[in-house]
Amino acid sequence: MVRAAYHHLESRYPTRVPFDPPPGFPELVELLAPEHSDSENIVYGAVREVFRELELDAGNFATARWNPLRELVREGQHVVIKPNLVTHQHHQGAEGLTWSLTHPSVIRAIADYSLIAVGPRGQVTIADVPIENCDFDALCEATGLRRMVDCLRDRGHTNIALLDLRTYQTTAFPDGSSERVELSGDPRGYTDVDLGEASFFHELESRAGPQNYYTLGDHTVDHFDPRTRQRGLPNLYHSPGKHVYHVANTILDADLVVSAAKLKTHKFSGVTLCLKNAIGISHGKEYLPHRRPGPPEEGGDSFPQYPSRRFVWRVQAKRKLFSLIGGRRIAALRKLVRRYIPAPPPHLVRSEPLFGNWSGNDTIWRTTLDLNMVLNGADRHGQVHPSPQRRYLAIIDGVIGMDHEAPMEGLPVRTGLVIAARDAAAADALGASLMGFDWQCIPTIERCSSVPALALGDPRVATPAARGNVPLESAQTQFVPAKGWEVLGDPRSPRPSQDG
């Protein structure tokens, strides 16, 4: 069985919504009218090719009977496509969003093959939990995602839906204040899943005792004070013997989850690929430990050593000034100024680790792998089983990736890749290798091999056996890691030219 595959293509996305496929694919004859085609869409064919390389329904390929998801889901069942829809904004504007998010053209190809597999009696749902200050409507408008889904529904595919799984959106202002707006959330509701001693935090707590967990979504903590030890909100849900995640029932009700991730670096976890994409199945950052206060010598992992007094004074003074002027006024003034003076690229702005944004973060990988265990083993009622409760397929959109200060403020990398795998560990090990990184230096991937029974996959066997349309070394592009991740390379080094 082939576990991982990749396809190298020209690094460009189609621009015409709804991102129809090129003509000539016999398996789509009954799904689409002949006029619903786009000869410029090369991404659709790349997704199709990685399905073929994984030998999905291999005997029927290139015929009208080809149904690549046949072995993963049956007619009448439910497929959830979980993309990376993290934010609605980027310092480079709308173009920057194509580097930040799973592109709708990748989602479209997955959606079509899902519709073939489940038939008209089944359901296909595109769903994610963006960051709390994401304007989901603005994201959908900028990318064409909602127009794509509406077009498919207008064509008769009324069994496809697009969901924002959050129950609230927070508007954050530069002075640290925020406003909260309630949202409708998951129409199927939510279930609390308690991993208990099966959590990856159990080993830490057994060795070092009860911990104090922080997350940037916790507005009760002063994250700009490196010496604060106030108890964080995640401690309500995470303590010895108790590790609760608030999971959307749309995810738990799925028969197949297709993780449609993005090829990016990440300030907290090194990379964000399919494993990290599972963060978006749980609503409420207060359920998601991201760091522990202090340096390692004090039992924390927020920074290797205390940030310099000058750096801390500068960020705190800026916040106090903004507070005196007023958050709304500062936000409006900043927006006006940026029309004429672009913001400097974040990787050129002087900064120091403060929020767990470095390679010594020993918390986020535990949260990430916990959620992958939930994704694989939790049933609709929140009970966790030793065997998988739903099927899984991994896809990574690397047509244009992102490095430097990703996941939201990075720079484009024209990798020209679509990656697919039968499990998250295989996808991530292959993805990290194609980014020029040693995946064994990335805890989220390296620790996968220690997951018992549920088998998130073994990263050690993925890359050598991966199939692709070009040699592996020809498909590699050297990404520049985020600051704090020198273990993966020099964050200050220029990326080799990608001209041509």
Predicted confidence (pLDDT) per residue in 338-351, tens digit? 777 777 777 777 78
Q: Which of 63-72, 304-313, 319-328, 386-395 has the least mean pLDDT?
A: 319-328
The predicted pLDDT at position 361 comes to 98
Mean pLDDT, the chain, whole residue set: 92
User: Can you say whether the dihedral through the CA atoms of 38, 43, 46, 47 is positive or negative?
Assistant: negative
The stretches of 259-363 forming alpha helices (DSSP H) are 274-277, 309-325, 327-338
Cis ω on the peptide bond leading into residue 226 (within 30° of 0)?
Answer: no
The mean-pLDDT minimum among 28-32, 95-99, 158-162, 418-422 falls in 95-99
Alpha-carbon distance of 484 to 351, in angstroms, equals: 10
Radius of gyration of the chain (CA): 22
Model confidence at 498, pLDDT cuts 50, 70, 90, reads low
Closest CA relative to residue 268, chosen from 351, 364, 204, 345: 364
pLDDT of residue 496: 58
- Check: CB of residue 352 under 8 Å from CB of residue 307: yes
Q: Are 213 and 238 in contact (CB under 8 A)?
A: yes
Amino acid at 143: T
- The single-letter code of the amino acid at 330 is I
Which stretches of 185-265 are DSSP H helices? 201-208, 249-252
Q: What is the mean pLDDT of residues 164-174?
A: 87
Asked if residue 324 has pLDDT above 70, the reply is: yes
Confidence at 499, pLDDT banded by 50, 70, 90: very low
- Amino acid sitting at position 298: E
Q: Of 207-221, 267-281, 441-455, where does mean pLDDT reach its minimum?
A: 441-455
Check whether 455 has a pLDDT greater than 60: no
Q: Using CB atoms within 10 A of its CB, is residue 319 exposed (0-12), middle (13-18) or buried (19+)? A: middle
Instruction: Provide the sign of the torsion angle of the four alpha carbons 28, 29, 30, 35, taken in this order.
Output: positive
Q: How many CA atoms lie within 13 A of 106 on its CB side?
A: 32
Distance in angstroms (rounded) separating the CA atoms of residues 437 and 486: 11
- Helix (H) or strand (E) segment spanning residue 94: helix 94-100
Please say whether the beta carbons of 418 and 50 come within 8 A.
yes
